[in-house]
């Protein structure tokens, strides 16, 4: 079921990045995967491709705790550029934090679809990609 969705992983953990990419490819979910080590890299990419829907991600798996720009700082900037984007991007905050403060803060940001505690399971990943794919990325 290889999807044509653009999947974006924003996380500074090399092992997590590798595992996510390998899992998506082994489950044949998508081959279109981009990886960024912090929110600033991801934001710069999005700003460079504001009007290029084919390059922009359909879904972002966003970590909280990263150097340079963390997940919440990324979301503050994302909210500012969202009106300029030509496509809807689905965002999941994926973190090892089970701190109720982090979870509550993420749930208050309407642009975040859900908060997932790491590790994300094969079933969760498959369900997310299949649901997005069936809705045409929306």
Which pTM does this prediction carry?
0.94
Predicted local confidence at residue 4, as pLDDT? 84
- Encode the chain (138 residues) as per-residue pLDDT tens digits: 567 899 999 999 999 999 999 999 999 999 899 999 999 999 999 999 998 999 999 999 999 999 999 999 999 999 999 999 989 999 999 999 999 999 999 999 999 999 999 999 999 999 999 999 887 655
Output the pLDDT for position 1. Answer: 52
Give percent helix, percent strand, percent coil of the chain, each to the nearest 5: 40, 20, 40
What pLDDT, on a 0 to 100 scale, did the predictor assign at position 2? 61
The angle, 0 to 180 degrees and rounded to 10, between the axes of the packed helices 122-134 and 14-26 is: 60
For residues 57 and 7, is the Cβ–Cβ distance under 8 A?
A: yes
Q: Which of 61, 111, 122 is nearest to 85 (CA)?
A: 111
CATH architecture of 7-134: 3-Layer(aba) Sandwich (3.40)
H-helix or E-strand spanning residue 86 = none
Closest CA to 29 of 52, 63, 59, 71: 59
pLDDT at 135 (0 to 100) = 78
What are the boundaries of each domain within the chain?
Answer: 7-134
Name residues whose C-beta falls within 8 Å of residue 116's C-beta, 6 or more positions apart in sequence: 61, 92, 93, 94, 95, 124
């Amino acid at each position: 079921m290889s999807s044509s969705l653009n999947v974006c992983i924003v996380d500074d953990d090399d092992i997590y990045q590798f595992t996510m990419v390998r899992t998506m490819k082994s489950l044949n979910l998508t081959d279109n995967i981009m990886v960024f080590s912090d929110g600033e890299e991801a934001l710069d990419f999005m700003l460079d491709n504001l009007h290029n829907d084919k390059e922009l991600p359909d879904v972002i798996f966003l970590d909280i705790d990263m150097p340079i720009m963390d997940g919440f700082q990324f979301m503050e900037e994302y909210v500012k550029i969202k009106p300029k984007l030509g496509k809807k991007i689905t965002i999941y905050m994926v973190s090892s934090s089970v701190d109720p403060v982090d979870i509550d803060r993420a749930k208050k940001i309407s642009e975040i679809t859900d908060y997932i505690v790491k590790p994300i399971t094969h079933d969760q990943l498959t369900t997310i990609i299949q649901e997005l794919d069936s809705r045409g990325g929306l």
